[in-house]
Amino acid sequence: MTKGHTSTFKKIAATAGLAIGLALAATQAFAVFPEKPIQFISPFAAGGANDYLTRLMAQHMAVELKGVIVAENKTGANGIVGATYVAKSAPDGYAVLTGNSATHGTNPTLYPNLPYDPIKDFAPVSMIGYVPQTLSVDTRLGINSIAELLAYSKKNPGKLAFSSSGVGSTGHLAGEAFKAASGIDMVHAPYKGDAPAIGDVAAGQVALSFVGVASASGLYKAGKIKVLAVASAKRSSTMPDVPTFAEAGFKDLEVSQWFALYARAGTPKETIDLMNVAAKKVLARPEIQEGIITQGAEYEYSTPEQLATFTQSEIKRFGDIIRRLNIKVD
């Protein structure tokens, strides 16, 4: 080998060695994730589905990631406080939001001055699951189907009201969408949460309610309310005897409160992929699936790319409903 060739070879070898060294260093740095506790943020209060799913995923994903995940509640303003916290965090995967159909569905339209961008500020990780909305009625009305509800409304115009967990909530949108599709004359009665909204139906204070399966399930099984339909593509695992709206003749009425994991935008793809794989393994376990179903929810895994597409479509879908029905948050 000539002197020139030897020199060139040494340069190539040195360059290759540097590249390998950098790759190894990057791999080693990545391999230690998580090297400190990860925060899983629920933007809603303890005791609800969002809180339950946050803690469930935190507990079991920590095992898969061989690290520590701490579940925390940062509540307020329809999920805005918690979502903003993660949106302003470092892009390193150590703050993860359990977002939902409010933080990444309705809020972008309901709140024009939202302090976070649901697309630009977040890196999707995976879907967790969803809770279909239900149409429930006071048993005292003697109504056992949507057909009977339509007939009742014609005989009693202006006498029906439906409750939900608040203005702009998933239940509110489901109720307004059903009102528009069916032509039923009814007014909205907003409450501060699903529990009081459905509780007043059982107590005979309001005729109808649109709340999640999880909130309606207990009273339904106790015979204190009648559930006429679920607003999902398939029947609920919790209420398999209750028809979907599509089965009742309203094929386009699908409204669910869904839940998904989001990290800060800019988080390394390798970190996102690690968390996604962990979420996939957790959601594949029968005992986890059963736990989610006991909460009135349906489990659902997605890739980050699928969640990104879904989020954009939900913002548009909910936005169209909100604008068409002119729903405002006071």
Who wins on pLDDT, 19 or 216? Answer: 216
Given a contact cutoff of 8 angstroms between Cβ atoms, the answer to whether 150 and 248 are in contact is no
Joined together, the tokens standing for residue 105 give: 């569905």
Say what the pLDDT of residue 30 is: 47
Name the CATH topology of 132-230: D-Maltodextrin-Binding Protein; domain 2 (3.40.190)
CA 274 to chain centre: 21
Mean of the pLDDT values across residues 260-280? 98
Rounded CA separation 181/199 (Å):
26
Q: Has residue 3 got a pLDDT over 80?
A: no
The domain made up of 31-131+258-324 is a member of CATH 3.40.50.300:
no
Say what the pLDDT of residue 165 is: 86
pTM value?
0.82
Q: Residues 201-241: pLDDT tens digits?
A: 999 999 999 999 988 999 999 999 999 999 998 999 999 99
Who wins on pLDDT, 8 or 155? Answer: 155
Rounded to whole angstroms, what are the CA distances from 179 to 97, 227, 315, 317?
33, 17, 21, 17
Reported as a pLDDT band with limits 50, 70 and 90, residue 330 is low
Q: Residues 107-145: pLDDT tens digits?
A: 999 999 999 999 999 999 999 999 999 999 999 999 999
Q: Has residue 101 got a pLDDT over 90?
A: yes
Q: Residues 298-321: pLDDT tens digits?
A: 999 999 999 999 999 999 999 998
Say what the pLDDT of residue 168 is: 85
Picking from 256, 150, 158, the residue whose alpha carbon sits closest to that of residue 210 is 256
Rounded CA separation 211/189 (Å):
12
Who wins on pLDDT, 160 or 8? Answer: 160
Q: Has residue 256 got a pLDDT over 80?
A: yes
Q: Residues 41-98: pLDDT tens digits?
A: 999 888 788 899 999 999 999 999 999 999 999 998 889 999 999 999 999 999 999 9
Reported as a pLDDT band with limits 50, 70 and 90, residue 31 is low
Say what the pLDDT of residue 28 is: 45
Examine domains 31-131+258-324 and 132-230 and report if their fold is the same.
Answer: yes
Q: Residues 141-199: pLDDT tens digits?
A: 999 999 999 999 999 988 999 999 888 889 999 999 999 999 999 999 998 888 899 99
Rounded CA separation 44/72 (Å):
10
Reported as a pLDDT band with limits 50, 70 and 90, residue 24 is very low
Say what the pLDDT of residue 11 is: 47
Reported as a pLDDT band with limits 50, 70 and 90, residue 25 is very low
Say what the pLDDT of residue 2 is: 45
Q: Where are the domains of the chain?
A: 31-131+258-324, 132-230
Long-range CB contacts (< 8 A, 24+ apart) of 284-287? 285/60
